[in-house]
Structure 1
């Protein structure tokens, strides 16, 4: 199968997604049609074992558990109290509550595997006080959209689980690898807020909160920190698998929800229904991705692409720079999950063949997907924060507000290319 046929199949899949066809259907159609074209109707007999095997994969059990974990913390009010606590500590920095937006997104990301959920949760809590205190709406929306992207980098991350399942890499190592880049990127965002606020002459600062009162607010940070510690600690020290650590996190979250007095049938019912919907969508896309992967493996597409790219004489750095441009453009038209499942089966073998560390490549892919979440016209986080803003302004405020953070992500990715130990050092010590 030549490169032109591969390109036609990819753009056909992309076209189906752009006209509104569900992601899972688009990928399954390309996979099935390609398989039948290559091997005839008997190809259909090989699909059922693949679907059965995917749905019985223990690793994927962690997806609904991590989604449920985020739902419990979201609906119990823990996120609201977390924002208040962080505002008491970060509000005195130049930029005031804008720092609290980033800090809250980073902390909530440590308990939720979803970028959209992070942006929506913190945005719902933050935007009313930001508007009341006179913060620029453009800067407010930009910090929330960019901060929300940390939800798929700082573990636990559903997208890292998807990458691990598609490439057969350790979820524990991927989670641990995301910690240092996630914290550094959070610091870069906050540094930009301070610099831009001071240089712009509008360095808003919140009133100083007395130390005893600030110390009392720390109790509200205990739930997310304890849940994060249980999940990542059990993974780092090899006590639990990804699914088991997710279950431990859910049990801890239930204990905190019960302690807050919010645990009840109505809350559980809403959490379970939302978890079922989100998990069903994700798992259906993964099944379709494995059908497409079956066609790719049987027809030798990955091998053909690997041979073609390695024949160009590219270095590993040259490939990564090329993929940065590729994912930057692709992120303007596709959502995160579809970008991952549509491209990883082809790009991963090429990267590994050129000597790129598979764990490093996973963090790189997630960073590129993060970038896609704040680049128009399909940046999901832009639409999320625009949808919950209190006034009736246009979405261009969210777009321009998030632009500096998109540039920071690109520069940070280049730093990762130059210093790969940012990603690989911590997993190497597991």
Structure 2
């Protein structure tokens, strides 16, 4: 079997294993080692498999991941998220779909201290969903808002998945984090417009909230001071060049830790926050190790280069090729989880995209947005599964039904990213 054919067989075997339920980390490592054994020999294959994890784990930029994850879990267990939701409710609760709007704002706030989509969804399923139900909100709308709000954590800095993208394709993590801010804000605005349109069309879905005095709103602002401090440190430190992403994440972690201690976080909550951090970090690193072994196998086959030559040689405008790539990711998002999908496809897709002249930072934002659409679309919409898993009384189909209006908004957001790439690259370009 020639190397190119073996590479195609390897990708097919990997996809099959993942669809059958084998974790991406083990499936990719197994396929990569088996492929290298066929191409070379068992000694070379096992030797490379032993070297790759250490070589890739020693990357300085990866040290930012556990810090970002720590920020999110400490904020959650210390009750900082609850305070942010309460403040958002007081400020925008009176608007049409006020509690739903507050949930989106609070999700954006949690995204600024988390970077984990499923964690955000889990938090607001427990926090915001019961509040909306108690106030008479339609259950499907409430569940959809919570699931979609969780996707903001992938774009708004700090974003773990943007960091991983930067490591895989060897791009500046600092520029990627800055690039995620504007599309994150655009996503918030579009989600709020969707809520307004839905509630205006059917007011019975979301009863109006009691009004709040201006003084009550002002007194709620200190509750989100920690969120603003974390955002300011991470974005300000990186943009001004005072700190690397890892250094800014370290300072932000210290801020959240001080706030948690000030709120007198219990020993059990503190322990759970650190334990959740370790579990999530180990899971991400295992995926990175496994996929990097598979990537090494693909490099030996020469398949990525062949795909790049084929794509760039197509007699088609580059926008048509990009449209095909977008459709591919939307379809993959229906059957694969985001992290695995990104790590499995980038070794082949990224060289072709850059060869077509697309900016790698811009493509990273587009890719992450497509991945986040995947986590709210059936049949494997992970965020929707999280909502239904925490609330078994809400059928999965109801969660997907609640998400449906927001998918129209997602199409609008993708259109903006495609039509106005300068919006995405504005902050990274100013950074220099």
Instruction: After TM superposition, give the deviation of residue 5 of structure 1 in Å.
Output: 4.6
| CA–CA separation in structure 2 for the residues paired with 1:11 and 1:409 | 30
Alignment gaps of 5+ in structure 1: none
Query: C-alpha offsets along residues 72-123 of structure 1, whole Å, 9 cap, x if unaligned?
Result: 0000011111111100111111112010111111111011010001111122
Instruction: After TM superposition, give the deviation of residue 297 of structure 1 in Å.
Output: 1.7
Report the RMSD for the aligned CA atoms in angstroms. Answer: 1.5
Partner of 2:242 in structure 1?
239
- From 338, 349, 361, give the equivalent of 1:347: 349
Instruction: After TM superposition, give the deviation of residue 284 of structure 1 in Å.
Output: 0.6
Instruction: After TM superposition, give the deviation of residue 3 of structure 1 in Å.
Output: 6.3
TM-score (norm 1): 0.96
Conserved 8 A contact 2:72-2:115: yes
Partner of 2:33 in structure 1?
32
> Equivalent residue of 2:393, what SS?
coil
| CA–CA separation in structure 2 for the residues paired with 1:244 and 1:319 | 39
Partner of 2:126 in structure 1?
124
| CA–CA separation in structure 1 for the residues paired with 2:394 and 2:359 | 44
- From 130, 147, 167, give the equivalent of 1:165: 167
Alignment gaps of 5+ in structure 2: none
> Equivalent residue of 1:429, what SS?
helix
| CA–CA separation in structure 2 for the residues paired with 1:43 and 1:385 | 42
Partner of 1:259 in structure 2?
262
TM-score (norm 2): 0.96
Conserved 8 A contact 2:152-2:184: yes
Partner of 1:296 in structure 2?
298
- From 111, 134, 137, give the equivalent of 1:135: 137
Partner of 1:409 in structure 2?
410
Conserved 8 A contact 2:3-2:301: no
> Equivalent residue of 2:115, what SS?
coil
Partner of 1:209 in structure 2?
212
Partner of 2:228 in structure 1?
225
| CA–CA separation in structure 2 for the residues paired with 1:32 and 1:266 | 41
| CA–CA separation in structure 2 for the residues paired with 1:328 and 1:369 | 8
Stretches (4+) displaced over 6 A: none
Instruction: After TM superposition, give the deviation of residue 351 of structure 1 in Å.
Output: 0.2
Classify 1:2/1:418 alpha carbon distance in 2 versus 1 (closer, same or farther; 3 Å).
farther
Instruction: After TM superposition, give the deviation of residue 4 of structure 1 in Å.
Output: 5.5
Instruction: After TM superposition, give the deviation of residue 307 of structure 1 in Å.
Output: 0.9
Query: C-alpha offsets along residues 358-404 of structure 1, whole Å, 9 cap, x if unaligned?
Result: 00010011001101100111111001112233x72311110011112
| CA–CA separation in structure 1 for the residues paired with 2:189 and 2:229 | 22
Conserved 8 A contact 1:118-1:151: yes
Partner of 1:196 in structure 2?
198
| CA–CA separation in structure 2 for the residues paired with 1:205 and 1:2 | 63
Q: How many pairs does the alignment contain? A: 428
